[in-house]
Amino acid sequence: MGIEITLAIALAGAVGGYLGGIVGAGVGATVVPGLLLIGVDPTVAVGSSLLLHAIIAPIGGLSYHKFGHVRKNVFVPLVLFGMLGVFIGANISLNLPADGLKVLIGASTVIAGLLIVVKYPRKHNGGLTPSQIAKRLKGTSAWTIAAIGLVAGLSHGAAGTGWGPLGVSLLILAGVSTHPAIGSSLLARTFVALTGASTYFFLNDGWFDIMVPLLAGGTIAMILGVLTSRRLESRTLKRIVGISVIVLGGIVLAKLVI
């Protein structure tokens, strides 16, 4: 692998990490199409993105857990069915033709970008007290949360994107308050992404060597993104990330017909 490709992979990781650090979403939705545009095989791109998620997700998940924003009755069904979904999604991805997988990734990326712009929640609980949050959680069925985990996991495993914007948005719509939705989703993502990355590792090869530049660029840039996010307005940041993700997905789709 030449130095130009190595630097391009590091840049893709840096862009994804930076945007993810700003709003906590969009890592896979930028890394996967970015790697495709460099010329990386689609299954290699998705597998690498999942491993990157598995490595960096614990930072955010454990931070939310420390402040009491991870709820067991959300986390358990979400992670169990999310792991099942990502395993199924990864196997679907590995059995699709390359162009078919690129269409899936491009479409999923555009949808993820739209969700970030339109639906992805602000990081607050709308003034709810802890007792009110607990009451809302009791009204949300475990099977509903399990179904959300399965759907978000399928998207994450097949296209490398969707767990954050899709999963969190659906949790909010199901009645889970914002902080518990984000915190439980972030911590669950660690195990879900690791399951998906392991599936790609055992059923496909040739992608592990790109992880060093991808991880180096993504980790450093995510820290910078977190620092930047403290100085900028949340809604503006999410629009920047969402529009960037939509453009990347559109480019991936456009390259298939040009």
> Chain-centre distance of CA 94, in angstroms?
19
d(CA 251, CA 229): 27
DSSP 127: T
Sign of the alpha-carbon dihedral angle for 158, 159, 165, 169: negative
Q: Are 146 and 76 in contact (CB under 8 A)?
A: no
**What percent of the chain is modeled with pLDDT above 70?**
80
Model pLDDT, residue 123: 46
CB distance 17 to 7 below 8 Å: no
Distance from C-alpha of 167 to C-alpha of 182, rounded to nearest angstrom: 9
Tell me the pLDDT tens digit for each residue of 26-80.
678 788 888 888 888 888 888 888 988 888 778 777 877 887 878 899 999 999 9
pLDDT tens, 78-122? Answer: 999 999 999 999 999 888 887 888 888 888 878 877 877 775 555
Contacts of 101 (CB under 8 A, 6+ apart): 42, 43, 46, 93, 159
Confidence of residue 180 (pLDDT cuts 50, 70, 90): confident
The backbone region for 127, taken as left when phi is positive above 0, alpha when psi lies in -120 to 50, beta otherwise, is left
- What confidence tier does 143 reach under pLDDT thresholds 50, 70, 90? very high
The H or E element spanning position 32 is helix 27-38
pLDDT at 124: 46
Give residue 252's pLDDT band: very low, low, confident or very high (50, 70, 90). Answer: confident
DSSP, collapsed to helix, strand or coil, labels residue 125 as: coil
Tell me: pLDDT of 139 over 60: no
